[in-house]
Chains A and B, each alone.
Chain A
């Protein structure tokens, strides 16, 4: 962990009687790329807008580089922002858009020209300076918006769902480009998204938010492999949540559909208590597995081909479990109705408090 550069300090935001952000506490290091991930209405954009200065917190503080900016206007914070709808100025060319912030800051025309050229190079659009936004594709417009935000050398870069208006292919290439530029410039960045794949692939750390609260902060691996709550477990990645009963908490044994399984991580609860267990599809395999593996007898209910992956749904008594297999030409996927044994590592089993919903 480096030193904290951007601190969102116990921030709450209410609109009238409705509280949309509750006691959010986040510390971001210099040069770190942090994603705010969560469903619509979880408060991620409002938190970002408070960092930008477009909304004021009801309580709490925001500090950048040790300076309290809570009461500063957006134009006094030296922050760059990229909007979902690009927000390029339609009356200005690409070069004029990139130069806007520098002109406002009173930079010399020589310095502006040089910086605009540099930024056009960084976003790989060196020949597009004279074009108007409407003459560019969505992806190009968003790259220009990024260049415009970065041209003023901001201390923090905010990206508010910048790729959600683009098609899938452009999105994937652009997210790699954004991350590469961010790494190159070493700028502290907050990225708001509801797309878990984007967050997992781009971020140093992810802040998972739900109903205005921070559910978990961690690296993509921690968020995916060690979800701290039922919400995080179900929101990030595909997950099968099954009802189970505690047999012996101290020994880590549970009963799933009458079959005995054991969990690698500790849990508590009286014997017979209803809990739920969560499993990722990629953690389950067909076959008997190693000596320590949990094994369940099941019947293949469906087989779905997803390209590089084949998703198989198996039924263990009353419960359906999804598992992923790599699509290999040497191994044929199982047939529907076939009896199989599935196995999974006890460490991959997450025991959640309370019975499974739905």
Chain B
């Protein structure tokens, strides 16, 4: 009984720590009009052309990051599980590097490697810089995407399913597209939404590469306005939460197997 009380106290403290700043930010974001609570700050934010432009840009980059990330990570994780299991610790370590190396270090490396006078001048054009930013985000999202896909692959018997498809005449593209990907789709989507959540608020890379992304816009508004940053923080928070909720909902529709019927 005593243990249960302490559990509830801990839970209440955790909730307070988490919700009080959130409620305070919501409350502050609604005080733009003097004396009354209103959604004026949100109206201003949503009506701002720069919000629409930067948010749209970040969504596009996030979508491209997800597609490229899936194209790189799914075949890699699949191949490592199927043919090179001994390399798994090495690949896992490599995928963890973006968590250890700060984004600012990565972006400075990119600028040094791919500046306009280098052998691969990504930053010479806007489109090239967009591509460089997108690949930067693929790197940043690698720990999350790889782990999500690898966990998904762990839930199925990759080798036997591959062999079963092979003996039925299937070639590699068919095996990956029709057998492997559908069975790890929920894991891939989890990785995709985590990637989306990272890309949508990312500041360092976008700012240093001078791209009109949502992160630098958030920072700029935060430095110059009072109520709009609070509204933007809440919007960004709900986008992230929305992504998490979608992952939870999707996981209920994961392919079932005899060993995992529910």
Residue ranges of A at the interface with B (Cβ–Cβ < 8 Å): 52-54, 73-75, 77-81, 83, 85-91, 100-101, 104-105, 132-134, 136, 138, 141, 148-149, 152
Contact = CB atoms under 8 A, between A and B. Distances in A.
A73 B261 CA distance: 34
Interface string B157-191: 10011011111111100100011001100000000
Contact of A152 (B160, B166, B168): B168
Contacts of B154: none
B258 A83 contact: no
Nearest to B166: A74
Contacts of A86: 258
Interface residues of B, number: 24
Given A83-B163, A89-B161, 20 more contacts: A52-B167, A53-B167, A54-B163, A74-B163, A74-B166, A75-B166, A75-B169, A75-B170, A80-B167, A81-B167, A83-B164, A88-B164, A89-B178, A100-B170, A101-B169, A104-B169, A104-B170, A134-B257, A148-B164, A149-B168
22 contacts: A53-B166, A75-B166, A75-B167, A75-B168, A80-B167, A81-B164, A83-B160, A83-B163, A85-B157, A87-B161, A87-B163, A87-B164, A89-B164, A89-B178, A90-B183, A100-B168, A105-B169, A132-B256, A141-B258, A148-B168, A149-B168, A152-B169
B236 interface: no
A79 B160 CA distance: 15
B256 A134 contact: yes
B156 interface: yes
B75 interface: no
A96 to B, nearest CB: 10
B56 interface: no
A76 to B, nearest CB: 8
Interface of B: 156-157, 160-161, 163-171, 174, 178-179, 182-183, 255-258, 260-261
B170 A134 contact: no
Contacts of B170: 75, 100, 104
A89 B179 contact: yes
Contacts of B260: 134
A101 B182 CA distance: 17
A91 B255 contact: yes
A79 B167 contact: yes
A152 B165 CA distance: 12
B73 to A, nearest CB: 19
A350 B169 CA distance: 48
A74 B175 CA distance: 13
Given A54-B163, A90-B156, A91-B182, A136 B258 contact: yes
Contacts of B174: 104
Contacts of A87: 157, 160-161, 163-164
B167 A90 contact: no
Nearest to A79: B167
A293 to B, nearest CB: 53
Nearest to B258: A134
A87 B179 CA distance: 11
Contacts of B171: 75
A85 B168 contact: no
A143 to B, nearest CB: 14
Given A74-B163, A134-B261, A91 B183 contact: yes
A77 B170 CA distance: 12
Contacts of A81: 163-164, 167
Contact of B255 (A90, A138, A141): A90
B149 to A, nearest CB: 16
Among A75, A85, A101, the one with the most B-chain Cβ atoms within 10 Å of its Cβ is A75
B173 to A, nearest CB: 11
A74 B67 CA distance: 31
Nearest to A137: B258
B258 A133 contact: yes
Nearest to B157: A85
Contacts of A89: 161, 164-165, 178-179, 183
A327 to B, nearest CB: 38
Contacts of A136: 258
Given A90-B183, A104-B174, A133 B167 contact: no
